[in-house]
Each structure stands twice: as C-alpha cells, then as structure tokens.
Chains A and B, each alone.
Chain A
Amino acid sequence: MNKIHYREWGIESPRYWGLLAVLAAIVGVGGFATLYMEHEGHWVTGMTNQIVWGTPHVFAIFLIVAASGALNVASIGSVFGQKMYKPLARLSGLMAITLLVGGLIVLVLDLGQPSRLIVAMTTYNFKSIFAWNIYLYVGFMAIVAVYLFTMMERKANRFSHGVGVFAFVWRLALTTGTGSIFGFLVARQGYDAAIMAPMFIIMSFAYGLALYLLVLMFTFDSDERPLGDAVLRRLKNLLGVFVAAVFYFTVVYHLTNLYGTENHAFEAFILRDGGVYTWTFWIGWVLLGMLAPMGILFHPALGMQRGSIAIAALLVVLGGLSAIYVIVIGGQAFPLNMFPGHTIIESGYFDGVNGVARHYSPSLPEFLLGIGGFALALLVTFIGVRLLQFLPTSLADDVADTQQAK
C-alpha cells in the first residue's frame, strides 16, 4: 500500500527558526526601505517622470506572474488527471498564494499613496485592466484557498476537480490581465502587442515551476524526505519545455516587431544599441534565462544531476527577472515616438533628444523592497509547510510509480 501521506515540515527547530529569522530580517529591511521611500517620497528612488515604474515593479510583476505559474503543478494533477502530480499539488497551491501575496505587497507599497488602497478597493473604473486585476488577484487567492481546502479535507476531495478547473481558468485570466497591463499601452513602442498576454502566461509557467522546483528540492532535502528521480525528471523536463516555449514567444515577439518598420528603432534599441537593456536582454533573458537552462535540463548527464537541475531552475528565475526588467524598464527607457518622421533636437523635459534613451538607475531602497517581497513569499511558504500538511512524506520512485499506475 503506497497511499500518499502528508506531514508538516519537520526540520529541527533551530534550523527552522534560524531560517525564519533570516527571512524575517530581509522582510524587515524591505519594510524599512518602504517606510523611508514613503516618508521622503519617490525622489529617493531612481524613478522619474519618464521611468515611472522601477525595480519594485520588476519584482512585483515577476512574483505575480510566477504565482499563477506555481499553480500549474496542481492543475496538471487535478485538471489534466496526471496522477503523479497529485502529491505535489498542495505545495503548488500554497506557493500560488504566497508568491502572489509577496508580489502584491511590493506593488501596493510602491504606490504613491499606499494608504489609499481602500480607495482602490472601493472605487473602480472597469475600463482599466488594473481595476480588473484587483478582482482577479483577490479572487485568485480565495479560489486557491478553497482549492487547497478541497485537497486537504477528505470530505471535500470530490470537489477538488471542479474547483481545480475553475482555478486553472482563473489563473489563465489572471496572467492575461497582467500581460495586458502592457499589451494595452497603445502609446509605447515596446508594448501595445496582443502577444504580451500569452507570452506572460507561458513565462508564468516557467518561472512558477522554477520556483516550485527550488522550494520542493529544498524542503525535501532539508527534511531528508525521499524525492525520487521519476518525479524530478518529470518536473525538470516540464521546466525545459516551458523555457523552450518562452524562447519561442520571445523570438516571435521580436521577429514580428522587426517586420514592421515602425518598430525598427525599438528593436535596434533592445537588441543592439540599448546598453544595459541590450546586455540584460542577451545575457540575462536569452543566455542565462533560456539557453543555459535548456542546455542543462536536456543534457543527458547534467539533466540527471540534482545540483545542476537546481542551478537551471535558479537561472530560469534570474532570466525571468531579467526579462521583466527589459520589458518594464527597457520599454519605458525607449523614448516615446511622438513625432514620427522627426527627430527631437531639444526638449525642456527629457523627450529623448536625438533618440537618447531615458535615464534610470535603480536605487537600493527599491531593490530592498523587491527582495523583501521575495522573502515574504518564502517566509509564509515555510510557515505554511511547517504548520499544515502540505508536503508528502515521500516522493520516492515507488510512491510516484504507484500514483502513476492508479
């Protein structure tokens, strides 16, 4: 009998509390950075009236995108009936919520008026995708919480499939909403593309799974729970396929842009002349974020080693942050094309004189706020797995095989 058993994360107390203390300290530093920025105003950040969304948005959007992707593991189990993924589902649901919380906190704390969050929750303009996103994000958390309940409460198990399907559809809508934040910006050369929504969905698959894999490997390894090759191989192959899909979307996005003359200047900026954005694109997004992980994950020898799988997942996360950086900051740094057929030769307010990009240097407080969001997501995840039965006691090959055979 190989019934799946779940048990609270059982690492020794000093190690557990030590881990929480480190994460709480990072959250605290992020909190202080926020207080500083809110007290002084955004002038202490690198953000300006030209680069209005800075580093906090990069972290926030990454975490929000990864949150919906983290749920995929659960969806594959209950929506697509892959039995092997069933024992992995609870952690998947938990991370979907915690990553979203981490991302939203960063987003909200970077508002000019975070104390007016109540206004955002009560006054809506439904033509704004932001307003929709408030419902999509909050709804997502509620639905995934119910989904977790149906998975963890035996009497509610029979609803799990239905709720899982609903959660899956909802997460597709959510990431479409996040991608559409950029897709709907008609005025900017780098955005205004319908491909943004599906590209964000596929990015979420990859980034969410990469973070999931890292947390799974860490929690199992530290608690000496067996994590068999069968499960790991399945997950790492899936990650490889998702990264390949991100690669495909990246290629299509830029090729489509390159076809239209009106986007040539933007493409030249990102792909060739954009300095830090060009480097981040090629080294971060493409090389470290896609080619290197694919090379590792599909390599006959490297792809079998746990250490290299973890490195590949870490690279996907770094590549993801690079990708969002290029999209968010690079997209703003490229000057608005206000006068087609003309070159701006003088401007009283940074209109991209002679096509020069807008300036942005990330500041430390912004970075600390972003990292704080990451730490908060992990902190809540680790508290969750310690208090409740999210983790299966074993994912050894025989357990996984039995599940698969069911």
Chain B
Amino acid sequence: MSQPTNQQRRAFLAEVTGVAAATVVAPGVLLQSVANAAPRDTAVTDDVRYGMLIDTTKCADGCSDCVSACDKENGLDLMEKPEGASDELWEMQRPRWIRQVKLRNNLTGRVTSLPMMCQHCEKPPCVDVCPTGASFRRADGIVMVDRHTCIGCRYCMMACPYNARSFIHENVQLKTTATPRGKGCVESCNLCVQRRDNGGTTTACQDACKHGAIVFGDLKDPNSAVSQAMAKYPTVQIRADLQLNTGVRYTDV
C-alpha cells in the first residue's frame, strides 16, 4: 500500500519541480530572446555623434509644431495638472523638453525665433555636477538621465546653462513605454533616444517642422544632411563662451 503512494508522491514532486523551474526560467529565457532580437543589443559607440542644426531663418514666428510633436512623442502631453494646483504654478512646474524662444537684438532690433532644448554638450555641466552619475552622456553624444540612479537633487538643473531640464513635480499616471517617467526625477530632451536605439533616423521635432528648420543627424559623417548643412552655413553655439562644444548649433543668431 505504501509503495504506490511513494511513487505518486515522487511523480508529484517531479511535476511540481518541473513547473516551478519552468515558471522561474521561462520568462528569463523569453526576455533574453526578446532582448537579443532588438537592435539595441550592441553597445553605443562614439563612431557617431548625434546633433542638430537649427536654421533660424526658416523657423516661423508663432509656430510651435516642434513643441507639440515632442510633447506627443515623449508623453509630455499625458501629464495632467494635479488636482488643486494653480494654473500659473503648474505651467512653471510641468516638464517641457523643447520650447520656442523669440529674441530681439539689442543693437539692431532684429528679431529671431528659435527652438531651445538640451544642447547635448560634449562637456555637459549637468553631467559634471551630478553626484551619482545619473546625468550622463552616451558615447554617441546624447546627454540624458538614468532614471534609476537620479535622486532628484536638481543640481543638474542649477548647472544647465540652457534651462533645458525639467523635474517631475507630480505623480505620473500615464506615460509612454518609450519614455517612462516617475515623480521626483529630472529629465530633458534625449534626441528621441528610443528612435536611435530602434533604428530611426529622425527626431519628432524634425519630422514636425514643415519649414525644414531642424536638421538632425550624425555630426561625424561628412555626408550626413546635418554635416552638409553645417558646412554650408555659418553656425553658432548658444553660450559659446562656456566652450561646451554643443551638439545643437544655430544659424543666424
């Protein structure tokens, strides 16, 4: 009588062990295969340096298509004003990766419109000051924030010469899978890094600009559109005096 029971128990244990092992290992195997399948399995190299040229002569006054496109691409339009927050304060607290700025030359009175965003410096002050290294520069020149190690000290925001960074002031209800975000971390334009890692060749703001004022590409490739355009027009860096060697350049400022 005892023999069959033992055999049953053995069979049962074997079955349980098998199921348990499958439960633990299978997702890992699955994830592994998913990870391997994506083109992002190779490390980013400095063979490329991503950058942009903004042709301010083409940037239209009053147009904010690049801003809307960025908001949509990076889920910034999903952010809602917290209940009870004042409209005025919320406008100053909501994240914004790209913005329109209009300038007047103090001497000549000439007016220029341009979009401002993270300038993707070669020597970014935000990376220098970050205590944990969460603010970092990828080998391909993209400056971004590691949301796992950002402690929310905002020192990078103090250091950025371009007011390019945003702090997430509220609980996040909705977000895109490509741009996860959470309360208490800092973020900024990352040149649509999700597109870079998935083989895309453009940024959302570039796609949205019907005036062709934004040219994105590899600054190291002499044949890229951005390099060709930069070779053709005189360009400037914003706050060139800081010698940060920005990846975003402007014409006619």
Contact = CB atoms under 8 A, between A and B. Distances in A.
Interface stretch (B3-11, B25-33, B127-135): B127-135
A182 to B, nearest CB: 8
Given A40-B171, A41-B170, A43-B82, A347 B129 contact: no
A341 B107 contact: yes
A360 B102 CA distance: 23
A116 B157 contact: no
Interface in B72-102: 82, 85, 89-96, 99-102
A130 to B, nearest CB: 4
Interface size class of B (residues with CB under 8 A): 35 or more
Contacts of B107: 341
A338 B99 CA distance: 14
A72 interface: no
A345 B151 CA distance: 35
B161 A49 contact: no
A128 B152 contact: no
A116 B249 CA distance: 36
Contacts of B161: 186-187, 336, 338
Given A41-B183, A130-B129, A186-B242, A342 B169 contact: no
B89 A48 contact: yes
B103 A344 contact: yes
Interface string A17-57: 00000000000000000000000111100111110110000
Interface residues of A, number: 53
Nearest to A363: B89
A187 B151 contact: no
A47 B186 CA distance: 14
Interface stretch (A76-84, A119-127, A230-238, A250-258): A119-127
B168 A342 contact: no
Contacts of A41: 82, 168-171, 183-184
Contacts of B103: 339, 342-345
5 contacts: A53-B154, A119-B151, A125-B132, A185-B129, A351-B99
Interface of B: 64, 67, 82, 85, 89-96, 99-107, 111-112, 116, 125, 127-134, 149-155, 157-163, 165-171, 183-186, 238-239, 241-242, 253
Given A52-B157, A111-B153, A112-B184, 10 more contacts: A47-B169, A53-B158, A112-B150, A181-B155, A187-B159, A187-B162, A187-B242, A338-B239, A343-B103, A351-B163
